[in-house]
Structure 1
């Protein structure tokens, strides 16, 4: 079989992109959106459009850039080594925060599954225990983690896709209408209240073009697959979260820590609801297992080239950065303790908002860099214009998502960025000693 025959078709890459995007980020969203009302569908539409613009711009960055490191490499074209460092730093911190949010999600579903009523402290300690369990489980290497993740992700995909299709047989329009705007918010208030949480479900879209070398005719097919996968994920998200609002009364849905399990229990019976909740718990644990390894690798790869301190680069014979994992585990423990809340969904909300704002920093840097990337590789002005316009829209959406995340998340993210600038002063010395000209 020839090398060309082994490559993916555009359809296969589109499906892979959508599957990679539909992860644990969706599992608590119906409850959070119910706190706003079904008017939050407007936020889904805005976020889907913004995510499409971001996805297309990232696809173009990936096709043109010759620098390694994903968003860090893209940012370096416009902002130099300092920009590469800041993109990696803020992205790494956002993953640390996101891991705590995923662990909180798993605890919420387990609480509902086992009919427990945990105190805020017990929820916090359970979250921390899960974070350490998945950290230690990664000490054996990536192969087992990858196999587990490829199986457990279906614990999210199957219930969410099933809800998006089968749920309409139980849909009650009167329930949906009654939940439209329970708090009497204005249009802009309602959209702003749920934009950040909807973007949370799309985080990771920047990695959708990582398989460019494995697809036929990548210059044409990667943007198609990225856009198609993002549209597919958006359709599933919008359908699944909105059909639930016509199955479960708004007050019950808003108070639930396992909204998909609750919905399936109403559709079928409590046992089916428990099975779905168990699948969701397994999916969250599998997702967290993979992301714990991923965030450690992000810090390791950055340490390998001198951006982060050398301890993050130390690895075992199997390539496992155990020292870095332990440091990140301590950071996640501190974050889990600091965000303990009497309301689990409010704790999840705070973590998600902070993760989103922090993650948007490298998004905006990449959107700015695409102008220079296209110029550097002599893209014709006519062809560059479309990408530049789309990237500008993606950046504008990013600003709106930051604004909608609230003052607390913006303030904390500001401190993260300022810390990054300070630490770059230390990391930059290494490049000066090595005589790196692009500093």
Structure 2
């Protein structure tokens, strides 16, 4: 008999979930929230509750779904093959855009660390160079990429946690109060203005449900771990961004492209601030390295089952989809030039809003499918009731986040999503068998 595989405890999975969420998304947050003011703490509360609802519903999706492919598999229960395609397509596009935002973050910190300045075009070119380097670094395969990411992520986590604990010794309530609502925005407008950027920090929470088979008693422990990890991340996000807002005057914080470096320079010395900036740059590059690999795999897995063009499924000897990754890199390069803004912060804003809008499409499809997923798993209506209610709450929050992203992001996101239907039409002929559609669940011809 083989040795039983040792499974994670609920505490271990909770910690893993929190670490997965506490990535490079927080690096620019203090400066972005300062544009609205410390009233944005209400945005954090709304997003934390919305993210907890999403996390719980995703835990249930992961527990009861019997289809592969993550959110695409969830969506297929309710929307068939077109839903699977659209979920994976919009998720892939979201990662495509989000990776550019991560690259912009690394450039912003580098500009401060090396005491230089860049024009909008030079900023875009620097970000593109970083995207190319990290994509090329993945051509050798996944092993090194995974190890680097597991180490570099601590370059973000450690400073943020340290600041959350000891930053209160430098906190000044008068500074915090002065930054409450610097532009005198109406309450609902102020809350809505920060929803996209706070949700940006939680994107990826759906991946926390991927460890169902690796944990003891998953039906009980996965929802506990996902909710606990999301709540822990929310607390760290809220505490760290608000303690900085009470340390640094609002005008100074708004203009900074390296807020955590500025915070540590204020607390200790400029040298310590530079060290923290260096750690966060390395963390962003490590994060980007992992996400560039992930996006290649997302498009490859969909190509393997016939949803995306065959070029995305072609692999080298190291099982790396190099040809598809080069196509994605060309798209990222074009998007970087298309989103050029007079200042780095403006370009970051446009990218984040667009990434959030496209990422919410598979979120909404997954929430809508949960009722069907549970029914297919023979969960009784009574047992399914709580999860279904939570899914509707999560969907309501997602619609609010879409609205809050603004007209420009909604328009561009809508065009990108509509383009997906055209692309689906070009591949849907593969799903025909003797003039009729393949039954849902049957393996598709490639």
| 1:93-143 Cα deviation digits (max 9, x unpaired) | 000000000000000000000001111111010011000010111111111
- Aligned equivalent of 1:341: 341
Shift of 1:186: 1.1
Secondary structure of 1:183's partner?
Answer: coil
Matched, 1:76 2:76: yes
Q: CA RMSD in A?
A: 1.2
* Displaced runs of 4 or more, over 6 A: none
Shift of 1:433: 4.4
Shift of 1:438: 2.3
1:188-267 alignment runs, 5 A limit: 188-267=188-267
Question: Is the CA contact (8 Å cut-off) linking 1:159 and 1:276 kept in structure 2?
Answer: yes
Q: In structure 2, list runs of 5 or more residues that go unmatched.
A: 442-446
Question: Is the CA contact (8 Å cut-off) linking 1:4 and 1:216 kept in structure 2?
Answer: no
Shift of 1:2: 8.1
- Aligned equivalent of 1:287: 287
Q: TM-score, normalised by structure 2?
A: 0.97
- Aligned equivalent of 1:185: 185
* In structure 1, distance between residues paired with 2:203 and 2:361: 13
- Aligned equivalent of 2:392: 392
1:32-431 alignment runs, 5 A limit: 32-431=32-431
* In structure 2, distance between residues paired with 1:179 and 1:204: 30
Question: Is the CA contact (8 Å cut-off) linking 1:265 and 1:274 kept in structure 2?
Answer: yes
- Aligned equivalent of 1:438: 440
Secondary structure of 1:201's partner?
Answer: helix
Change (3 A) 1:221 1:116: same
Q: TM-score, normalised by structure 1?
A: 0.99
* In structure 2, distance between residues paired with 1:4 and 1:33: 48
Question: Is the CA contact (8 Å cut-off) linking 1:173 and 1:246 kept in structure 2?
Answer: yes
* In structure 2, distance between residues paired with 1:158 and 1:342: 32
Shift of 1:436: 1.7
| 1:158-186 Cα deviation digits (max 9, x unpaired) | 01111111111111111001100000011
* In structure 1, distance between residues paired with 2:4 and 2:113: 48
| 1:6-44 Cα deviation digits (max 9, x unpaired) | 111000000000000000000000000000000000000
* In structure 1, distance between residues paired with 2:384 and 2:139: 45
Q: In structure 1, list runs of 5 or more residues that go unmatched.
A: none
* In structure 2, distance between residues paired with 1:73 and 1:22: 26
* In structure 1, distance between residues paired with 2:188 and 2:2: 54
Shift of 1:307: 0.3
Secondary structure of 2:242's partner?
Answer: helix
| 1:181-219 Cα deviation digits (max 9, x unpaired) | 000011101111000100000000011111111110001
* In structure 2, distance between residues paired with 1:45 and 1:227: 15
Shift of 1:302: 0.2
Residues 425-434 or 308-317, more deviating:
425-434
| 1:308-340 Cα deviation digits (max 9, x unpaired) | 000000001111100011000000000000111
